[in-house]
Chains A and B, each alone.
Chain A
Amino acid sequence: MSDTLQVQDQPAVIPARRRIRLPLAPVLVFLILMIIPFYADGFWLQTGLFAMAAAVGAIGLNLLTGATGQLSMGHAFFLAIGAYGYVYFAADSSSTLSGLGLPPLVAMVLAVALSGVAGLLFSPISGRLSGVNLGIATLALIFLGQHVLFNAEEITGGVNGRSVPVFELFGFAFDGTTPLTVLGIPFGGAEKLWYLGLVVLAVAAYFATGVLRSRPGRALNAIRDHRIAAGVMGVPVARYRASVFVLSSMYGGLAGVLVALAFQRTVPDYFGIVLSLEYLAMIVIGGLGTAQGAILGALMVTLLPQVLTRYSDSLPFVAPPGSGGTLSPSIAARFLYGAAVVGIVLFLPGGLLSLWARIRTRIIPIPRKKESNS
């Protein structure tokens, strides 16, 4: 695993970054993201919301697994805490369900803090165990979580789930009940949440990049690459491992809040083992150890299957559902997705991000002189 990780090491990325100081690419990406709600229909916005939530969660997992080398199978558990925590803090009590009825922003912060506390409670274990052993231990969290979600009905709503309270910021509600038209385009819940998601994702990515590029980030990488050497150099290994676990749980919780807002209802079945595995797939596919890698992976894992399924009718050799053909579009979509994942893991061991780095250094080698002019 460690030789894959080294591809993503910071020194490889920094020189490339230094060469392109002109932020044209980020500005373009930002602009495109800003105008998407003006064009995209509900399906794309909804899928995009899920992708942004997944990206936040994947960044958190990448801090833990990619940067520190600690495997976690329990990420879905922290998403569940974030999602249900938000609902519990923000919803009003009813005859069958309890809630605190706090302002949504406070509820969001508390939900993230709650996930952090859950991560902290697990720290005696997460500080001591390394790599795969931690993966096995965190597996238990999934089963614990599912049991609680189905049985603590007063808080979670049991199998039925609970309605998610609308997010509000200073009286501005992120839903479709108050009509809002921007430049002739009606803004519903999905459009408003899109911008909320963008802000949250940007802050999450900025913070994670800061952590990774500074002293704690180096310490985490040192623990991943050589635990004993890191300890000898004075890195408090157990404390760092426990702290990064807490941080990663908080990212999971934040992703959970976004997922809840995108779903508008909590569904206990969603927070299972498959979700944890999908998050692991995201960081491996995107690129281990960086925020950008996590975002790319989250986009790929969330968007690709849905887009393939949606447009699979137009693939050659497939029969429309209901016509009785052997190769149905949905099965063809699964095959394509599987092939894409195998292709990436096989030919891009550093993940999608390494492809981007390769393109950037090969196609746009900007001369150094021009840099000073701009």
Chain B
Amino acid sequence: MRIRTVSAALALALLAAGCSGKSADKAEDAGADGVKTGPGITKDKITLGGLTDLTGPFASLGKTVTQAEQLYFDEVNAAGGICGRKIEVIVRDHGYDPQKAVSFYTELAPKVVGFPQFIGSPMVAAVKDRIEADKALTIPLAWSTTLLGSKYIQVTGTTYDIQGINAVEFLSKQGLVKKGDKLGVVYAEGDYGQNALTGVKWAAKELGLVAVEQRVKATDTDMSAPVTALKDAGVTAITASIGPSALASLAGLARARGIKAPIIGNQAAYAPQLLKTPAAPALLKGFYIVGSGIPLSADLPAVKKVADAYQAKFAGQVLDGGVLAGYSSAAVFGDALKKACAAKDLSREGIVTAHRSQSAYDNGLGIVADFSTVTAPPSLSDYIMQPDAQVPGNAKIVRPAETSELAKKYKVPVGTIS
């Protein structure tokens, strides 16, 4: 009886397996309108993926970016879509967990054209080889040089090391540091901090400064040890490549212990919410922000339009750096789709080719980008900003975007941090 049961069940299973709906990937072919299509494209819909963090450490940024991207795609759909197709975005929350990110990437990869949003460099690193194999255009919300070198991954601004170089050169041009001075470098373990360190150290050497390195854990929020060390070393200026809560601690403690040296942080170190903390007075004095993401307070019609539309749609929510970062990366993706449509090739390879053919991309949101080079960041220009509680986004431009002479001489590491 037992053997009969087992063999019957086995036969049934094999039969059932034969009629599974699972089949090989559909071949890319031309649709009725003569446009070549690929995964994620049907005759009336284009599906995109978003891998974001809505419950982990970057939850508030993830929410803003997701909403800003939705804002852009809603506008595109209201204007008739792209190639006669409506855009749909499937968003999955990985909660900054690489394991979930891999699972959700595996789920979305066969269904979508590409990923206009992918938060977290450890998560992008985890699926880097798969992105390469799937050929899906991906825009990470991370600006590390580890993400350079792949045709399919598009970093949208200056990398952390370039920001470091631009920061040091700004300090030097302003006369805030001079040859022989000591420069404090506080950086977090991980590709953000270590990549920034590479640039800062290189620039310090070029300008004859002595770098005093202070490495902290990415999760550390108490900066008393580095502040003590920097005070003992007698630094003239400080660069900060750490997270926002660590920055609040660094600035607050430094000013409380009488360190008057200017502090300059990467854009990723600053969050508008910091001005509601007790660290606000310290940040409003002698603190600068370096980065290629244009602030919401910028006097550009396109920026104003986005800020107004976002506030109208998501009333009462925080306006942080994610609004323009999200809108802008969605626009980069949307424009790649439009260009690919014009060339009648919406296959994944066709979209990437269309995207990479743009050597002077300008969407009116600040920076002119060169997407044609795979081995370099699309731009070398950074804004210098300062916190200001009176303006939208709580940051104002103190120096417009500029490419430093130093950054032009620098050789960008590709695929690694240094």
Contacts and interface: CB of A to CB of B under 8 A. Distances in A.
Interface string B14-41: 1011101111100000000000000000
Contacts of B20: 38-39, 184-185
Given A263-B102, A306-B103, A309-B92, A322 B146 contact: no
A38 B317 contact: no
A310 B130 CA distance: 20
Given A43-B104, A160-B191, A322-B70, A184 B18 contact: yes
Interface in B62-93: 63, 66-67, 69-70, 89, 91-93
A267 B18 contact: no
A148 to B, nearest CB: 12
Given A183-B17, A265-B129, A324-B313, A42 B9 contact: no
Size band of the interface chain B makes with A:
35 or more
B110 interface: yes
B383 to A, nearest CB: 27
A190 interface: yes
B359 interface: no
Interface stretch (A23-31, A224-232, A350-358): A23-31
B190 A324 contact: no
Contacts of A329: 93
Contacts of A96: 416
B194 A42 contact: no
A331 interface: yes
Given A28-B9, A31-B10, A150-B189, A322 B91 contact: yes
Interface stretch (B120-128, B250-258, B260-268): B120-128
A103 interface: no
B22 A39 contact: yes
Given A158-B417, A186-B23, A321-B54, A34 B13 contact: yes
Contact of A270 (B2, B22, B52, B99): B99
Contacts of A267: 98, 122, 125-126
B106 interface: yes
Contacts of B17: 35, 38-39, 183, 185
Nearest to A264: B129
Contacts of B146: 159-160
A159 B55 contact: no
B381 to A, nearest CB: 26
Nearest to B417: A159
Interface string A238-271: 0000000000000000000000001111011110
Contacts of B106: 42-43, 45-46, 190
Interface string A27-59: 110010011001111110111001000000000
B107 interface: yes
Nearest to A147: B189
B100 interface: yes
Contact of A263 (B9, B16, B66, B126): B126
Interface residues of A, number: 54
B100 A334 contact: no
A374 interface: yes
Contact of A310 (B89, B107, B125): B107
Contacts of A41: 22, 107, 110
Nearest to B67: A322
Chain B binding surface SS class: helix
A235 to B, nearest CB: 38
Nearest to B121: A159
B199 interface: no
A2 interface: no
A322 B66 contact: yes
A331 B110 CA distance: 26
B410 interface: no
A324 B9 contact: no
A323 interface: yes
A159 B54 contact: no
B189 A306 contact: no
Nearest to A320: B91
A42 B67 contact: no
A159 B70 contact: no
Nearest to A321: B91
A99 interface: no
B120 to A, nearest CB: 9
A161 B110 contact: no
B306 interface: no
Interface in B386-418: 415-417
Given A159-B190, A330-B95, A185 B22 contact: yes
Contacts of A190: 106
Contacts of B417: 158-160
A158 B122 CA distance: 11
B67 A324 contact: yes
Interface in A172-230: 183-186, 190
6 contacts: A27-B9, A35-B16, A160-B417, A185-B17, A269-B98, A322-B69
Given A38-B16, A268-B122, 15 more contacts: A40-B22, A42-B106, A42-B107, A158-B417, A159-B194, A160-B191, A161-B126, A264-B129, A265-B129, A270-B99, A306-B104, A309-B104, A310-B92, A322-B67, A331-B54
Interface of B: 1-2, 5-6, 9-10, 13-14, 16-18, 20-24, 50, 52, 54-55, 63, 66-67, 69-70, 89, 91-93, 95, 97-100, 102-104, 106-107, 109-110, 121-122, 125-130, 146, 189-191, 194, 313-314, 317, 415-417
- Interface pairs A-B: 4 shortest CB-CB: A43-B107, A322-B70, A330-B93, A321-B91
